[in-house]
Every structure is written in C-alpha cells, then in structure tokens.
Chain A
Amino acid sequence: MEAVRIRLEQIHKTFLHRIKGEVTAVKNVSLEVEPGEFLTLLGPSGCGKTTTLRMIAGFERPDRGRIFIGEEDVTDLMANRRNIGFVFQNYALFPHLSVFENVAYGLKVQGKNSADIDREVAKVLELVGLTAYERQFPHQLSGGEQQRVALARAVVIEPRVLLFDEPLSNLDAKLRVYMRGEIRRLQKALAITAVYVTHDQEEAMAISDHIAVMNEGRIVQIGTAEELYLRPEDAFVAQFIGRINALPAKVLTVADGTVTLSLFGRDFRLTAPPDGLAAGRMIQVFIRPEAVTLTRETGGDLLRGIVVERTFLGEKADYLLEMDGGRLSATAYDPLRHGTFAVGETVGVGIESGIIHILKGEEE
C-alpha cells in the first residue's frame, strides 16, 4: 500500500476536568508528516503528546481544526473507520484471547475468511518473531513479547498509518534499545507513515526521521535530531534535547551583524545574533557541557575554573566548575586517553564564541 501523508491543521483540544476546570491540552497544533516518514512527538509529561496522537487515531475529537490522513479529511470519522494501527503504552492486549486471536482480531472484524487470516497472522507473527507463541495468552508472556504482540496486532490489518504512544516505557533499558530498533526496522520494511510519542529524548533521536518537540500544548520546533541539537530555536528545546548550561551574560555592544558579550569576565563576539538585543542588558546564554574543552594547562587564552564536583561515567566524566562569576558544567570524553581531573584542581576552560547560543524565550 502507498504510504500516506498525515496533516494536522490548527487542531485544538480542551478538556473539562472535574477539579482543574478547563484544561487546554493541545493548542493550535499544525503538523505535516510526509508519506513513509517516522515522526516523533517529544516533550515533558502533560504537554499534550498523547492527546495529539489520540486525535490522529480518532479516540478524541478536536474542538477546532482538521485532521487529514492521505487526502481524506478524517476529523469526523470514528477511530474504527480510519484504518490506523495503534500501539498503546500498556499494550492493551485482549486478556481473554490468545496471541493468535489477538492478532487475528482486526482481520476477523474485516470479515476475512479463515484461510487468509491464518496466513496473514502467521506472516506477521514471523515478522515479529513470535511464531511459537500462537496459543499463549497475554498473561503468559513477558513484557517484551506482549509488546511484539501489540505491534503485530497493529500492523496485520495493513493500516495506513502506525501510531505509538510510549510503547517502550514498560520495558527495561536494554530491551527498550532493542525494541526501538525492531520498531524502526518494521516501519521501514512496511514503508508506512508513523507517529511516535515519547518523553525520552534519546529514544526520539535514535528512532525518528523528524522530531516535533512539544511544550504546554504547542509544537515548539520540528526538525531532525541533529537540527534540534545543533540549532535549537528556543531555550526549552535546548534544555530538552541534551543538556545545556544557562548562564547570565551582559550585552556590551550591538553592531551590524555582531554582538559583544561579557561572560565569566571575558568578552565574546558572536555573529548573527537574534533581534532585540540592546547594549547594557543582562541576557541568558547557553553552552552545551560537551562543547567546553578542559585542559590541564591554564595559561594563554583559556579561562580558569576550579573543579567542585566530578561524576565519572566511564566513557566520559562530568564536571562542575567554579568560574569567575558563576558555575559551569562541562563534559570531557575518553578519560582513558586524557585522564581525569580531581576535585579542587584548577583547570583551563576553553569556550569558543561559536558554541555560545543566544535563544529567544529566556531573556532576563
């Protein structure tokens, strides 16, 4: 089947909460998922990811806005008419049906004959590696196996789109990494458009073509993992994708296309600053810990910092440094080769102006 496009146009959803009153879960979200694309909705708890996904599935109806699957406006279509595959966080397997019956369910509903059902179920179970499990019941399976049954059940009906709501959050860390590879492989093999919800940024970065970062009911930025990491558009994205230092800096001069800042008692010249900066104002700037270089020599151009905390993590070590005018987190990789620094040690801190981000959102 041809992969299809999913399009959300200005969708909006408010819930009437018994205690909190009106809660706006999704605010004017527009989104386009290309045919065959794997898009992830990423954001903190309560930001509206699940609600958005459930509206695509047809479990909730938006108050305003339209939803298209392919060329079809599905806004008023019930979930059972949308031809989607949905994988739930808790799998939602039918507890009274065997693995075979669970997977066959959607085909039976379509009214297929039993020979076709047998064949297609067998094919999908092989695809997810559960051929021997046909007769087992959900409570007799491990979490990972249940997950795969849920996956098989969703794809066997050859849905137009696949939707996942935190499907891996109940698995242990190792299995999570393995299963996300499986999901991605399956999605590619079926060449099917997929929307995936998670709050785990590493998972999102590993699995997706594009990530839509959500906060408080809105999509803040959409991009590839790399774009979001390298060029976050606002402070929220910068802090949510990876880790980042937020530091106070003073604007010294603003001239055509450049800005001079004072940070840790040193002047930095940045090109292409955002609009609206004025000389003399304090602003917040952002530096990724892993972009800072640490050296044993402390001379020359380098800033100086004293190590106040050290966390050794194997392939890297995190440091908290006391600088002249504030604290800074820094990460040094490959301690095998470069050695580590001790608490109390004075180190050289290299910050190039290229690694300093000025972002909208968190000005002081």
Chain B
Amino acid sequence: MPDAVAALNPSDRLRKTLRDPLLLSILIILWALLALFIVYPLASLLIRTFTDEGKFSLAGVWGILADPMQRQALWNSLLLGTLVGLCGTVLGFLFAYTAVRTNLSKGWAFFLDAAVILPLISPPFTTAIAMIFSFGPRGLITYDLLGLTSVSVYGLPSTLFSETITFFPIAYLTLKAILAGIDPTVEDMAFSLGSSRWRVFRTVTLPLAVPGIANAFLLLFAASLADFATPLILAGNSFPVLPTQAYLQITGMFDLKGGAVLSFVLLVPAFAVFLLQRFWVSRKYYVMITGKAGAKTEIKSVRPWMRHLLLAVCLLISVSILYFYVLLFYASIVKAFGADFTITWKHYHVVFTEGLQAIRDTLIIAGIGMPLGGIYSVVVGYVVCKKDFVSRRTMEIVSMINYSLPGTIVGIAYLLVFNDPPLMLAGTATIIIACYVFRYGPTGIRTTVAILQQIDPSIEEASSSLGANSGTTFRRITLPLILPAFFAGLGVVFIRSMTAISATIFLISINWTLITVRILEKMTELELGVAAAFSILVVLIVFIVIGAISLFLRLFRQPGAPDMANILGG
C-alpha cells in the first residue's frame, strides 16, 4: 500500500499524534479493538498450540504430524489448493481474456459478468448441493441422463470442480483488471513487427500478465485452503482436508486443543501465501497497472475463429453455472428431487416456519454488522492512509490478518478466548458480529484507501486553512468523499454475514444461529429441498442488497470509487 502521507521523524510523528486529541482517542479505541478481536485470539491460538500444561511444547504439533490421517489432510489441503489455483486461474484467464480482448457486445459482457458474479454472492454449499443433484446417486445427469448408478460424487474430482466453479470468479476479476491495463497498442506493435498472433500472445501479453496470474493463483489457493463448506459436503471420508478435520475434531470429539493445533497447521501455508502476496506479487503489480488503459484500437491479437472458440468456452461455463442455479431452484420447489418431481411449496414453508429464527437472527446480525463494518473500514482506512502516527504500518497489517486467515482459524481462535470469563461472549450475537466486522471489514478498508489515494491531500489542508479542525474536516470533507467506500464496506460485511460459515459455525448457539448453519444441518439431515430453498432465499436477499448498494454507489459516484463487482473480487 503506497502512502499518501510523507514520513516524519519518529519524534515529530509522536508529537503530532499527541497534539491531536481526537486522533489519539480514535487510535486508542482502534488498537483496543484490534488487540481484543485480532491479536489476542490469534496469540491464544498459538499459545495453546505450543504449550502443554503451561510449558512450551511441540508435542501437539508432532502429534498431528505423526497421525497419518491428519498428515493426509494436510497433504490433501495443499493438493486441492494447488489444483484449484491452477484450474481456476486458467479458467479466470480465459474469461478475462475473452472479456477484454474480443470486443464483446454490451449484452454478452453483462451476461458473462452476471454468471461469474453468482458464485461470489452465493451461500456456501450451493455448488455442492447442485453437484449432488446433478451427479449424485440419483443425479439428473448421472442417473437420469446417463443411467449410471454406481458412481460416487464424493472425492477429489467433484470437490475440485465445485471449488473451481465457486472461486474462479476471483481470478477472473483480478486478471480482467490486469489485462485491461495492458495497452493493446503494445500488442499491435509486436504484431506490426512481424510476430504471429500466437507469438505476440506468448512473448508480450502473457509475460505482462504474469504478476496478475501469480496473484490470482495465490488468491485461489488461499480460498480453497480456507474453504470448509465444499469439502464438508463433497470430499467424503476418503479425502479429508484440514478445515473439516479441525471442525470435526472440535464438534465431534470436543477436542479444542486438537482443533487449535490443526488450525495452526493450516495457518502455516495461509501465512506463506499472505507473505508472498504482500512482499512479492504486490511489488511486481504496481509497475504493471500504472500503464493507462489503452486507446480503443481495432484489436488484432485474436483471430476470428479464436474469438469464437473463446466465446464458446466461456458460454459453456456460464451456462453450466446458471444451470446449477436453475437446478437449485427446481429442487427447492419439488417434493423430493430425484424421486418425486411434484411441484410444492413445502420446503419454503419449512424455511418460513421452522427456519424463521435463523432468518431473523441472520438478518439482525447482518443488519447490525453492516453499519459497524462500514464505519470500521472507513475509520481504519482513513487513519492508516492519511494520518502519520507511531504504529501506522503495524495497524495496517494487523487489520488485514483476520481477512487473510482461513475462517476456521479465526473461528477456533475466537472459541478459545471468548468462551471463558471475563470475555464470556460465546453464544452471543456480539461475537458473531465482531467476527464478521473484523474479518470482512478489510475489503472496505482497501476501498477506502484506494479512494483516499485519489483525493488530493491539499483538499484537507484547504479545509484546515479555513479554520476547520481535523474532526470537522473529516466530517464535512473526507467522509462525504469516502462514502462509496463506506457502502462497499458495509455491503461486503452484509453479504458475508449472509453467506459465510467457516468461522461462525464455531460461534453459533441456541440463542443465535445462522441460515448457513441451517443449510448445513438440513443437508446432513438429507432434507436437500429445504437446504435448496434456504440457499435460494439467501441468493435473493443478497441480490437485492447488492442492487441497492450498486445504486448508491452510482449516485455517489466519486473518482476512484470501485464497482461492486471489483469489491467482491477479493
């Protein structure tokens, strides 16, 4: 993250911070929150992992690594992450290249975008459920179409397929930005020098996109590593992965310590990805995207037949995504998918009677978390980007931690520290809300920073020279300008509150439960129709909210304000 503020000497910085009481109190509050909800839980997790009866010990970690089952889970997680990273990046590149380099008409571009966004805003299990409906023992494709009876939908291939479909949109959005940043005239230039189209692609386009590709791979690897929902449904017993193992350790065997150690094992590769992104990819990245998007030239880098091929592939994939959702809807309105296709509303009836508490709880949690998340992201983004104070960098990094960590780790860490007095927050809505705010606020923080970097610092100085103190300046000038980031921040917190499960599954209670958890329950009870109906409901709510936020974003259009789609990209 480049800085909008100049470096002061440390003593100057300290003096400046102390002279501004408002800033000072905000910093104290923020650090208290970050310490409580990010540093302390994570530290506890580490301590729990490395101590045994109060003494430092590696026994816990060795115990896990010695267990062949858990070793297998680690290996499986890494394998799955790598494969999803590879497949998703290829798919994302294909889509991005098609979107950027084939002169799509508006309608087509919209269609592709819409199909690609769907997985990003869906509750977990959605593709997993659809996979079972399609390829399960009574699946539409395996059984009804092909008449196969002995295939198993569970295992690596289906998990890989499902995760790829779920996560490749992240790669698409990342790579689209990168490819759009490459000036097509550079390609034209190489072309005019006599290279073949393929050669231009190989020697110009691809090398320029390498940082983006690396980043997309890392993002997907991390997403797959952290994914809990898909493997829980699809991986089956033969393909254990770390997040599900940690979950089962805790919920099945009530072994909190074992869960903590397992999630620590998961933390190592996640942290490696975090470091790689921060210190390697992001550095290469900058050089790239500063290039201005090229002038509209008649793009020659794609031959007509190639264009058609690309379009056909993208279309095929988009249609299969849409097919999944249609299937989901269909399953939610028939009696028993695969056996009895009579139309019925009974699943929705269940949703709105038995499931009402979950819906109400989820909406309350999302509704409270939404403004808090918006405020949190704007305030952190603002001070980190605009104020020069001791511990600025540290705050920036710490605020990103929960976002970068797999949800399972965060959930278990929260469970560890908020389960006992004096911080007996387990079972309350507070802890679920806090989890979402600190885990998904960072998207809004980044948006805030992106907008702030485009606002000239002299605008705030102008306000100050006119007599406004920093509070007034923030309220009257900066806040209106970063309103889009506020909406982005609250939007993401809302969407994730509706759809996330990996962290909060550890935090629910009889008093407070979540739709996503109900979906999981219904799936394990094999009430797939109800699970499908719940999923459809979530997709609808999220769609409406995204629509409203996009509208707001358009109304308050500011320089540098991103699209909703880009915010979701990760």
B194 on the interface (CB 8 Å rule)? no
Tell which of A33-41, A65-73, A102-110, A213-221 binds the partner.
A102-110
Tell which of B161-169, B279-287, B376-384, B463-471 binds the partner.
B463-471
| B16 proximity list for chain A (CB < 8 A) | 61
CB-based contact B456/A92 at 8 Å: yes
CB-based contact B461/A59 at 8 Å: yes
CB-based contact B469/A80 at 8 Å: yes
CB-based contact A157/B481 at 8 Å: no
Using A90-B456, A109-B472 as known contacts, say yes or no to A85 and B465 having CB atoms under 8 A apart: yes
CB-based contact A109/B459 at 8 Å: no
| B462 proximity list for chain A (CB < 8 A) | 86, 88, 92-94, 153
Q: Give min CB distance, A270 to chain B, whole Å.
A: 48
| B472 proximity list for chain A (CB < 8 A) | 109
CB-based contact A78/B19 at 8 Å: yes
Tell which of A10-18, A187-195, A316-324 binds the partner.
A10-18
Please name 26 pairs of A and B residues whose Cβ atoms are closer than 8 Å in the assembled complex, sorted by A: A16-B7, A17-B7, A57-B461, A58-B464, A59-B461, A59-B464, A61-B12, A79-B461, A80-B465, A80-B467, A88-B458, A89-B458, A92-B458, A94-B462, A95-B481, A95-B558, A96-B480, A96-B481, A96-B558, A105-B476, A106-B467, A109-B467, A109-B476, A153-B462, A153-B466, A154-B466
CB-based contact A78/B466 at 8 Å: no
Q: Give min CB distance, A57 to chain B, whole Å.
A: 6
A83 on the interface (CB 8 Å rule)? yes
- Report which of A16, A18, A84 forms a contact with B465, defined as CB distance below 8 A: A84
B114 on the interface (CB 8 Å rule)? no
| B456 proximity list for chain A (CB < 8 A) | 90, 92
Contact with B along A152-164 (1 / 0, CB 8 A): 0110010000000
| B480 proximity list for chain A (CB < 8 A) | 96
Q: How far is the CA of A27 from the CA of B325 in the complex (A)?
A: 69
Give the A interface residue count (CB, 8 A).
Answer: 32
Q: How far is the CA of A89 from the CA of B462 in the complex (A)?
A: 11
CB-based contact B465/A86 at 8 Å: yes
Query: In chain A, residues 81-138, which have Cβ atoms closer than 8 Å to a Cβ of chain B?
Result: 81-86, 88-90, 92-96, 105-106, 109-110
CB-based contact A78/B464 at 8 Å: yes
Residue of A nearest to B16 (CB): A61
| A95 proximity list for chain B (CB < 8 A) | 459, 481, 558-559
Using A90-B458, A92-B458 as known contacts, say yes or no to A80 and B7 having CB atoms under 8 A apart: no
B477 on the interface (CB 8 Å rule)? yes
Q: Give min CB distance, B113 to chain A, whole Å.
A: 28
B8 on the interface (CB 8 Å rule)? yes
Residue of B nearest to A163 (CB): B465
Q: How far is the CA of A15 from the CA of B468 in the complex (A)?
A: 26
Ranked 5 nearest A-B pairs via Cβ? A106-B466, A92-B458, A86-B465, A92-B462, A79-B464
Query: In chain B, residues 438-477, which have Cβ atoms closer than 8 Å to a Cβ of chain A?
Result: 456, 458-459, 461-469, 472, 476-477
Interface centre among A59, A78, A80, A84 (most CB of B within 10 A): A80
CB-based contact A80/B464 at 8 Å: yes
B9 on the interface (CB 8 Å rule)? yes
Residue of A nearest to B480 (CB): A96
Q: How far is the CA of A96 from the CA of B459 in the complex (A)?
A: 11
Q: Give min CB distance, A193 to chain B, whole Å.
A: 15
CB-based contact B7/A94 at 8 Å: no
| B7 proximity list for chain A (CB < 8 A) | 15-18
Residue of B nearest to A76 (CB): B19
Q: How far is the CA of A96 from the CA of B458 in the complex (A)?
A: 15
Q: Give min CB distance, A46 to chain B, whole Å.
A: 15
| Seed contacts A58-B465, A78-B464, A106-B468; 20 additional CB < 8 Å A-B pairs | A16-B8, A16-B9, A59-B465, A61-B16, A79-B464, A80-B466, A81-B467, A84-B465, A88-B461, A88-B462, A94-B459, A94-B463, A95-B459, A96-B481, A105-B466, A105-B468, A106-B467, A109-B467, A153-B462, A157-B466
| B481 proximity list for chain A (CB < 8 A) | 95-96
| A59 proximity list for chain B (CB < 8 A) | 461, 464-465
| A157 proximity list for chain B (CB < 8 A) | 466-467
Residue of A nearest to B461 (CB): A59
B6 on the interface (CB 8 Å rule)? yes
CB-based contact B468/A80 at 8 Å: yes
Q: What is A's interface to B at a CB cutoff of 8 Å?
A: 15-18, 57-59, 61, 78-86, 88-90, 92-96, 105-106, 109-110, 153-154, 157
Q: How far is the CA of A217 from the CA of B153 in the complex (A)?
A: 74
Q: How far is the CA of A79 from the CA of B480 in the complex (A)?
A: 22
Query: In chain B, residues 107-145, which have Cβ atoms closer than 8 Å to a Cβ of chain A?
Result: none
Contact with A along B480-515 (1 / 0, CB 8 A): 110000000000000000000000000000000000
| B466 proximity list for chain A (CB < 8 A) | 80, 105-106, 109, 153-154, 157
Give the B interface residue count (CB, 8 A).
Answer: 26
Q: Give min CB distance, B457 to chain A, whole Å.
A: 9
Residue of B nearest to A96 (CB): B480
Q: How far is the CA of A18 from the CA of B5 in the complex (A)?
A: 11
| B559 proximity list for chain A (CB < 8 A) | 95
Q: Give min CB distance, A354 to chain B, whole Å.
A: 47
Residue of A nearest to B481 (CB): A96
Residue of A nearest to B468 (CB): A109
| A88 proximity list for chain B (CB < 8 A) | 458, 461-462
Residue of A nearest to B7 (CB): A16
Residue of A nearest to B483 (CB): A96
| A16 proximity list for chain B (CB < 8 A) | 7-9
Using A92-B456, A92-B458, A94-B477 as known contacts, say yes or no to A57 and B463 having CB atoms under 8 A apart: no
Q: How far is the CA of A16 from the CA of B558 in the complex (A)?
A: 32
Q: Give min CB distance, A5 to chain B, whole Å.
A: 19
Q: How far is the CA of A201 from the CA of B459 in the complex (A)?
A: 28
Q: Give min CB distance, B353 to chain A, whole Å.
A: 47
Q: How far is the CA of A157 from the CA of B468 in the complex (A)?
A: 12
| A83 proximity list for chain B (CB < 8 A) | 467
Residue of A nearest to B9 (CB): A16
Q: Give min CB distance, A72 to chain B, whole Å.
A: 16
Query: In chain B, residues 5-28, which have Cβ atoms closer than 8 Å to a Cβ of chain A?
Result: 6-9, 12, 16, 19
Q: How far is the CA of A15 from the CA of B7 in the complex (A)?
A: 8
Interface centre among B464, B465, B481, B559 (most CB of A within 10 A): B465
Interface centre among A59, A79, A84, A110 (most CB of B within 10 A): A79
Q: Give min CB distance, B551 to chain A, whole Å.
A: 18
CB-based contact A110/B461 at 8 Å: no
Residue of A nearest to B479 (CB): A96
Q: How far is the CA of A242 from the CA of B232 in the complex (A)?
A: 79
Q: How far is the CA of A57 from the CA of B466 in the complex (A)?
A: 11
Residue of B nearest to A15 (CB): B6
| A78 proximity list for chain B (CB < 8 A) | 19, 464, 469
CB-based contact B477/A86 at 8 Å: no
Residue of B nearest to A22 (CB): B9
CB-based contact A57/B476 at 8 Å: no
CB-based contact A105/B463 at 8 Å: yes
| B477 proximity list for chain A (CB < 8 A) | 94
| B12 proximity list for chain A (CB < 8 A) | 61
Residue of B nearest to A88 (CB): B458
Residue of B nearest to A102 (CB): B462
Q: How far is the CA of A86 from the CA of B12 in the complex (A)?
A: 24
| A85 proximity list for chain B (CB < 8 A) | 465
CB-based contact A86/B461 at 8 Å: yes
CB-based contact B468/A92 at 8 Å: no
| B476 proximity list for chain A (CB < 8 A) | 105, 109
Q: Give min CB distance, B20 to chain A, whole Å.
A: 8
Q: Give min CB distance, A95 to chain B, whole Å.
A: 7
| B461 proximity list for chain A (CB < 8 A) | 57, 59, 79, 86, 88, 92
| A58 proximity list for chain B (CB < 8 A) | 464-465
Residue of B nearest to A139 (CB): B559
Residue of A nearest to B12 (CB): A61
Q: How far is the CA of A105 from the CA of B468 in the complex (A)?
A: 9
Residue of B nearest to A108 (CB): B476
Q: How far is the CA of A93 from the CA of B6 in the complex (A)?
A: 22
